[in-house]
Structures are given as C-alpha cells and as structure tokens.
C-alpha cells in the first residue's frame, strides 16, 4: 500500500539544494517504484497538481504531475525546448502553504523524462501542464515559485 508522505515546508535547506539525477540502470528497483507510488498518493491526497522529491525530503530528480490522463511519475525530467512566448499565471506550492502569486512561465515546453519501466519519453506541453513542469523542475534546482513571483498573497 502506498504511504502518505510528510511534505517539507519552506524554509528548509532540502528545498534549496540541487537534486541529483538517478542512474537509469537502477530505476526498476522496488524502492523507486514505491517512491513514485507514495508521491502520487501524497500529491493527490493533498490536492496538488505536482510534487517534487525534495518536497518529501529527497534530493533526487523525481517529480509527479497530475495530468488530464492521470498521475505520471517522471524520473530525471528535463525541459529541452522553451517557447519564446511567456505568460503570467497564478501558482501556489504544497511546501509554501497559504501563499499564492503570479509567475511568468514559458507558454510551451518540450520535455523528456524516464518512466517507471526505464523508457525515455519525449513530449510537449502547453498551458497548465507546461507551467506545472516548470514549477516542479525548478524544485529540483532548489528554486521556489516565490523567488520569481509578483503580487504575492499570504492567507
């Protein structure tokens, strides 16, 4: 059974570290599979649209994203191309509860990641998914949305 993980909140040094890539040869381990399942459960239970491993205390390059086709676990995700056009949009973060702000992000991105079976997937995204991917991959580099946001509201 997947576990509900504890989400680390800002300020915490784990949220500010650059996360390391996982060795693609070690991806099929039970540990990574379980981590993905636990992160998906935690993201869904907390009503998040995305979750990055540093938020549950692990500085490794793993994120989960809730898409219209269901929750996806992405290992070593990377943005490979960014649109020139950017747009402002509202963001929040499970690690910064009650805080919201406007962040300017690329409208469209091409991205790649390794899935749970070790396969490399290449896709493009626009709108909310593009925004979530940029937000989550920022977490892997120790960047929080409040570093980039304007019109910040604290509830």
Which positions are annotated as active-site residues? 136
Q: Which of 93, 99, 103, 114 binds Zn ion (CB under 5 A)?
A: 93
Query: Least distance from C-beta 120 to Zn ion, angstroms?
Result: 25
Stretch that binds Zn ion, among 17-25, 70-78, 92-100, 109-117 (CB under 5 A): 92-100
Distance set, CA 145 to CA 3, 4, 138 (Å)? 27, 24, 8
- Write the CB contacts of 28 (distance below 8 Å, at least 6 apart in sequence): 116, 117, 118
Closest approach, Cβ 147 to Zn ion, in A, equals: 11
How long is the chain? Answer: 155
Kindly state the smallest distance separating residue 50's Cβ from Zn ion, in Å: 7
43 binds Zn ion (CB under 5 A): no
Is 62 near Zn ion (CB under 5 A)?
A: no
Interface with Zn ion by CB under 5 A: which range of 19-27, 63-71, 85-93, 146-154?
A: 85-93
Is 135 known to sit in a ligand binding site?
A: yes
Question: Which residue, chain included where needed, has tokens 């896709």?
Answer: 123
Instruction: By CB under 5 A, name the binding residues for Zn ion.
Output: 93
């Amino acid at each position: 059974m997947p576990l509900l993980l504890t989400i680390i909140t800002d300020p915490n040094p784990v949220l500010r570290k650059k996360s390391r890539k996982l060795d693609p040869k070690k991806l099929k381990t039970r540990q990574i599979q379980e981590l993905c399942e636990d992160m998906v459960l935690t993201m869904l239970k907390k009503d998040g649209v995305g979750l990055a491993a540093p938020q549950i205390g692990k500085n490794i390059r793993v994120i989960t994203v809730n898409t219209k086709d269901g929750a996806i676990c992405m290992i070593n995700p990377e943005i490979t191309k960014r649109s020139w056009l950017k747009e402002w949009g509202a963001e929040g973060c499970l690690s910064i509860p009650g805080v919201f702000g406007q962040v300017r992000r690329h409208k469209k991105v091409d991205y790649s990641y390794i899935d749970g079976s070790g396969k490399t997937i290449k896709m493009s995204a626009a709108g909310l998914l593009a925004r979530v991917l940029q937000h989550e991959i920022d977490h892997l580099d120790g960047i929080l949305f409040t570093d980039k946001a304007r019109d910040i509201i604290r509830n």
